[in-house]
Amino acid sequence: MRTSVIPFGPQHPVLPEPLQLKLSVEDEVITEAVPALGYVHRGLEGLARTRDFHQMVQVAERVCGICSVLHAICYCQGVEAIMGIPVPYRARFLRVVWGELLRLHSHLLWMGLFADSFGFESLFMQLWKIRERILDIQEATTGNRVISGAIRVGGVCRDIDARQGRWVTDQLAWVEQQVRQIEPVLTDDFTIRRRTVGKGVLTAAQAHELGAAGPVLRASGIAQDIRQTGYAAYGELDFEPVTATAGDCHARCMVRLGEIHQSIDLIGQALTRMPEGELRAKVRGRPQGESLMRVEQPRGEVVYYIRADGGIYLSRVRIRTPTFANIPVLVKLLPGIYLSDVPVVVLSIDPCISCLER
């Protein structure tokens, strides 16, 4: 049987980012997938040598707009660990609020693209309409729709007062109502189930062996979530990782759908339990030492390794993103499926090439 090699990307039918997959195809069935990366490398890690450790917060936020707040939180926690800075409790709760708003934004954006990958344009528009409300909340509470700019070394630079907190709660109640109206389509629609159930199955053993991260890992039945370590204010909040067991595209969608409801609940808890107090601790001196910090992004665990030699510039910032962990998973999932299912399986891991290629 003749084998054809088809380039899938970097100009994509499903992704706005340049990931190329060289697909070997026999009779419409994928036999091999080879990823090609490196189209948008920007050298952001190297800026640590020319931007001081305060300015690097803004660089970290711009690694990826969809993950911006959580990149900033992870970076700041790394610097705070080196310098021994005690972050005020109110600032920790505010970080949770903005981090979970970002998770809502990311998951709703992904679900819209996922619907688009199998032709549900109306569902795509409905999900992105809901996402707009999350961006409105982000703008009202931080001043910006995407890159918030609210996270600082030592805490945060903005606050959410009681009146604004009640407004946020009301807006999120509307978001949850809208998501629950759409939920039966995602869970039960015949066409969606036909395109997703049993497609791109990843077993728990494979997920563990390949080092999968985030919803991709949890959809295979492994209840691992870095938020359980209690960073920021997560140790003060009640939640359990959202999991599924099927390990297919539909299960990965269901995990993200469950995390939308979970994020709304966590924001409500954080606003209710948020203590009074300062927003930012004083930052004295310069960092000297090294740290390894982990945070749960919408796509999974992100790791920041930071090394400082006592100057205003950091000597090393190394970022390991969840998409980097999930690309080997994608290469494992593609062989054996039909070419028509490739967009759905690719979207199911929620690749973020902006995060991957710093």
Section 182-195 average pLDDT: 92
Burial class of residue 232, CB neighbours in 10 A (0-12, 13-18, 19+): buried
Q: Tell me the range of 5-14, 29-38, 118-127, 157-166 where mean pLDDT is highest.
A: 157-166
CB atoms closer than 10 angstroms to residue 221: 16
Checking if the pLDDT of 16 tops 70, the result is yes
* SS3 annotation, 243-255: CCCCCCHHHHHHH
For residue 64, say whether it is annotated as part of any ligand binding site. yes
Cα 317 versus chain centre, distance: 20
Return the half-sphere exposure (C-beta side, CA atoms, 13 A cut-off) of residue 136: 15
Residue 114: is its pLDDT beyond 80? Answer: yes
Residue 145 pLDDT exceeds 70: yes
Give yes or no for residue 355 having a pLDDT over 90.
no
Q: Which residue is associated with the tokens 């310098």?
A: 83
Mean pLDDT for 161-179 is: 96
Predicted pLDDT at 1: 63
pLDDT at position 190: 92
**Residue 306 phi, psi (nearest 5):** -125, 130
- Return the half-sphere exposure (C-beta side, CA atoms, 13 A cut-off) of residue 244: 22
Is 137 assigned to a binding site? no
CB atoms within 10 A of CB 288: 13
Mean of the per-residue pLDDT values of the chain: 92
User: Closest Cα partner for 122 from 196, 177, 192, 198?
Assistant: 192
- 39-326: CATH topology: Cytochrome-c3 Hydrogenase; chain B (1.10.645)
Alpha-carbon span 265 to 173, nearest angstrom: 10
In this predicted structure, what is the pLDDT of residue 205? 95
45 DSSP assignment = G
DSSP string, 105-148: HHHHHHHHHHHHHTT-HHHHHHHHHHHHHHHHHHHHHHS-SS--
Q: For residue 19, is pLDDT > 90?
A: no
In this structure, what token pair is assigned to residue 142?
Answer: 């931080």
Higher pLDDT, 42 or 143: 143
More confident residue, 90 or 46: 90
User: Region 285-311: what's the mean pLDDT?
Assistant: 95
**Environment class of residue 121 by beta-carbon count within 10 Å: exposed (0-12), middle (13-18) or buried (19+)?**
exposed
How many whole angstroms separate alpha carbon 287 and alpha carbon 296? 24
Dist. CA 162–CA 7, nearest whole Å:
53
Q: Which residues pair with 301 in a beta bridge?
A: 296
pLDDT tens digits along 206-232:
999 999 999 999 999 999 999 999 999
Chain mean position to CA 185:
24
Is 45 annotated as contributing to ligand binding?
yes
Residue 98, SS3? helix
319 is in an annotated binding site: yes
DSSP H or E stretch at residue 182: helix 162-188
Question: Which tens digit of pLDDT belongs to each residue from 310-343?
Answer: 999 999 999 999 998 999 999 999 999 998 899 8
User: For 236-264, what is each residue's pLDDT tens digit?
Assistant: 999 999 999 999 999 999 999 999 999 99
First to last CA, the chain: 41
Partnered with residue 290 across adjacent β-strands are: 307
